[in-house]
A and B are shown apart, each in its own frame.
Chain A
Amino acid sequence: MADAIVAPPRIVGDPSIGRRKNTGRSALGLRLIATLYVAVLVLLPVVLIIWRTFKPGLSEFFDALSQTETTHAFELTAIVAGSAVVLNTIFGIGVALLLARYRFPGRGLLSAFIDLPVSISPIVVGLALILVYGHGGWLGGTVATIGISVIGSIPGMVLATVFVSLPLVARAVIPVLENEGTEQEQAAQSLGANALSRFVRITLPTIRTAAAYGVVLSFARCLGEYGAVLVVSGNFEGQTETATLRIDNLYELDLNADAAYAVTFVLVAVAVAAIVLISFIRRRQERAS
């Protein structure tokens, strides 16, 4: 669901530059086509989901959501997506600092590699993780001896989710760091600030909106992850079943379409909330710059 929103935030530049006044017949035609296209592809399905969700009635909707397996699926999604976002934020800010501030051999390669996960199919990611951590996998034996099970349990699902949303925070933060340069940090340093207080007092406040944008984007992406998690989780009902897996299981296995749509609706609602939040952050960012 959130796979589509991967465009980096606009941080620099005057938004009015390159924007033509939308008069004239060709502009009108383009607007009509664009609106129609979006309406048919996006708006119609979303509206239909809402309509389909509430067709059986409100009490059925709430009943479907209060099933033990369903609440468990939501909890699991929150845990997996939450941990993945925390890891992505720490890694993302670290890598962004590395790529924006330092020149080192292999920098271009690193930059290309962190983008790889979004372009690889999630199923492939899942299979790759099984090759590494599964039975007889490269690291499978090692993690088993220290008592961690990766495949078929939460650590594997978190790994898969981290993988597919890896660059989102970093890509949001890098342009801001490049744009701001290092003078503020140098000024802070000459005023007596050590590395930690420079990071806390200067760097973090500078990137906070961009990072927030990346975090929301990451979270939306993590919530919607299906393929990679399907492969590594084992998809056990009530154990390793996330909200997206739950939807598929309800629909395909339990033939309970009503309940499937109820869960779907919740995910759609969260995605819409995320988009509203993102546009709010964007506006704040544009005003600040």
Chain B
Amino acid sequence: MGIEVRGVGKRFGDFVALEGVDLSVRSGELTALLGPSGGGKSTLLRIIAGLESPDVGQVEIEGVDSTKLAPQHRDVGFVFQHYAVFKHLSVYRNVAFGLEIRKRGKDEIRRRVMELLDLVHLSQFADRLPSQLSGGQRQRMALARALAVEPKVLLLDEPFGALDAQVRKELRNWLRRLHDEMHVTTLFVTHDQEEALEVSDELVVINQGRIEQIGSPERLYDHPANEFVMGFLGPVTRLGDRLVRPHDIEVFLDAAAGTVEAKVTRLQRIGFEVRAELDAGTSEPWVQLNRGQAEALGLEVGETVWLRPARDASMLEVAS
């Protein structure tokens, strides 16, 4: 196992940040910790790095009990949301930092740093100061700096959270490809479900200090354990007494087996997507269609249609 967390709990005053958290991160995988802000995911990451200490529980990194180990002895790479660049050092010296601390030879440092700067496409900026780089470049530098010491695990705390949407998408693809090349055990925190679904091998959903569900992105999307996971990973609507994804509802113009009658109350087009809001008596679902489907059905406001969940739709009973 790459990282093993057992029974970890942490309070800040009266606030329970984490409670009874168990987590296993397999070696070489890219795992996402997903959850709303204040849910405890960053605290868990910082506990693994040693930047916070748990009130109870244990942390093991590559088979070594690290619970009482100082951060500098844990061999983890940590990447911060706001980069935490060393402002007074050049890009080169930033990346070289961990190697200088470890007193590696000058030639070895030079070779390794240039190799990493190449990897993150910053070779031509080696002599610049971080203040001369863009946000995305700073974060790539921070990543190279964390990787320079060949950490046992790489921990990223909302690494793309401070970047604008375009750069964020670029960097997340790039992180995925980088991970496929390096295979370093990686745990990254995000509150962006799209990012988590797109990048990770394994997904851990955390809410209110507890783990809600662990599994592959597909599994969690298709078979959410509860309402929270289902709602956090994608859109949810209510049809009768069941929760279902709005793109998993079939629309018919005539009654069919298992359908309920509903009246179209509103139609809204967003690009290629069409959202139909309906009144189905006991519930008011909305359905997500593409333009082709909507046109084939010839939907109009006030019209009566029949709805049922698609055959392989993921569904949850509404908690009473």
Spell out A's residues near B (CB within 8 Å).
183-184, 186-194, 197, 201-202, 205-206
User: Would you call B72 and A187 a contact (CB within 8 A)?
Assistant: no
Q: Which residues of the other chain, A, contact B72 by a CB distance below 8 angstroms? A: 189-194
CA distance A193 to B70 in the complex (A): 10
Residue from the list B76, B85, B88 in contact with A190, Cβ < 8 A: B76
On whether A206 and B88 interact (CB within 8 A), knowing A188-B97, A190-B51, A197-B101, the answer reads yes
Closest 7 CB pairs of A and B: A191-B98, A183-B84, A190-B78, A187-B84, A205-B88, A192-B101, A189-B71
Q: Which residues of the other chain, A, contact B78 by a CB distance below 8 angstroms? A: 186-187, 190
Q: Which residues of the other chain, B, contact A201 by a CB distance below 8 angstroms? A: 97
Interface residue? B102 (CB, 8 A): yes
CA distance A189 to B146 in the complex (A): 11
Q: Which residues of the other chain, A, contact B98 by a CB distance below 8 angstroms? A: 191-192
- Identify 6 new A-B residue pairs, CB closer than 8 A, beyond the known A186-B51, A190-B74: A183-B84, A186-B78, A187-B142, A191-B146, A192-B98, A193-B101
CA distance A191 to B145 in the complex (A): 8
A285 to chain B, nearest CB (A): 13
A104 to chain B, nearest CB (A): 15
Q: Which residues of the other chain, B, contact A186 by a CB distance below 8 angstroms? A: 51, 71, 78, 80, 84
Q: Which residues of the other chain, B, contact A188 by a CB distance below 8 angstroms? A: 86, 97, 101
Q: 17 A-B Cβ contacts within 8 A? A: A183-B80, A183-B82, A184-B85, A186-B84, A187-B78, A187-B142, A187-B145, A188-B86, A188-B97, A190-B50, A190-B71, A190-B77, A190-B146, A191-B98, A192-B72, A192-B73, A192-B149
CA distance A241 to B97 in the complex (A): 50
Which chain B residues in 130-163 approach chain A with CB under 8 Å? 142, 145-146, 148-149
Q: Which residues of the other chain, B, contact A194 by a CB distance below 8 angstroms? A: 72
Dominant secondary structure at the A interface: helix
User: Would you call B149 and A184 a contact (CB within 8 A)?
Assistant: no
Q: Which residues of the other chain, B, contact A206 by a CB distance below 8 angstroms? A: 87-88
CA distance A105 to B82 in the complex (A): 30
CA distance A206 to B146 in the complex (A): 21
User: Would you call A184 and B101 a contact (CB within 8 A)?
Assistant: no
Q: Which residues of the other chain, A, contact B88 by a CB distance below 8 angstroms? A: 205-206
CA distance A186 to B80 in the complex (A): 10
CA distance A187 to B101 in the complex (A): 13
Interface residue? B187 (CB, 8 A): no
Interface residue? B49 (CB, 8 A): yes
On whether A187 and B149 interact (CB within 8 A), knowing A192-B72, A192-B101, A193-B72, the answer reads no
Which chain B residues in 97-121 approach chain A with CB under 8 Å? 97-98, 101-102
A60 to chain B, nearest CB (A): 50
User: Would you call B97 and A191 a contact (CB within 8 A)?
Assistant: yes
Q: With CB as the reference atom, state the residue of chain B lying closest to A205.
A: B88
Determine which residue in A186, A187, A197, A202 has the highest number of CB atoms from chain B within 10 A of its CB, and name it.
Answer: A187
User: Would you call B101 and A191 a contact (CB within 8 A)?
Assistant: yes
User: Would you call B71 and A202 a contact (CB within 8 A)?
Assistant: no
B46 to chain A, nearest CB (A): 9
On whether A191 and B84 interact (CB within 8 A), knowing A186-B51, A186-B71, A197-B101, the answer reads no
Q: Which residues of the other chain, A, contact B70 by a CB distance below 8 angstroms? A: 189
Q: Which residues of the other chain, B, contact A193 by a CB distance below 8 angstroms? A: 72, 97, 101
B198 to chain A, nearest CB (A): 26
CA distance A194 to B72 in the complex (A): 7
CA distance A205 to B85 in the complex (A): 13
B139 to chain A, nearest CB (A): 12
Determine which residue in B50, B72, B142 has the highest number of CB atoms from chain A within 10 A of its CB, and name it.
Answer: B72
CA distance A202 to B88 in the complex (A): 8
Q: With CB as the reference atom, state the residue of chain A lying closest to B74.
A: A190
CA distance A201 to B72 in the complex (A): 15
Q: With CB as the reference atom, state the residue of chain B lying closest to A191.
A: B98
Q: Which residues of the other chain, B, contact A184 by a CB distance below 8 angstroms? A: 84-87
User: Would you call A187 and B87 a contact (CB within 8 A)?
Assistant: no
A197 to chain B, nearest CB (A): 6
Q: Which residues of the other chain, B, contact A187 by a CB distance below 8 angstroms? A: 78, 80, 84, 86, 142, 145
CA distance A80 to B316 in the complex (A): 79
CA distance A183 to B84 in the complex (A): 5
User: Would you call B102 and A202 a contact (CB within 8 A)?
Assistant: no
Q: With CB as the reference atom, state the residue of chain B lying closest to A194.
A: B72
B12 to chain A, nearest CB (A): 12
CA distance A205 to B49 in the complex (A): 25
CA distance A192 to B98 in the complex (A): 6
CA distance A191 to B95 in the complex (A): 10
CA distance A221 to B298 in the complex (A): 85
CA distance A193 to B88 in the complex (A): 17
Q: Which residues of the other chain, B, contact A191 by a CB distance below 8 angstroms? A: 72, 77, 97-98, 101, 145-146, 148-149
CA distance A189 to B74 in the complex (A): 10
Which chain B residues in 51-78 approach chain A with CB under 8 Å? 51, 70-74, 76-78
Q: Which residues of the other chain, A, contact B77 by a CB distance below 8 angstroms? A: 190-191
Q: With CB as the reference atom, state the residue of chain A lying closest to B88.
A: A205
CA distance A205 to B88 in the complex (A): 7
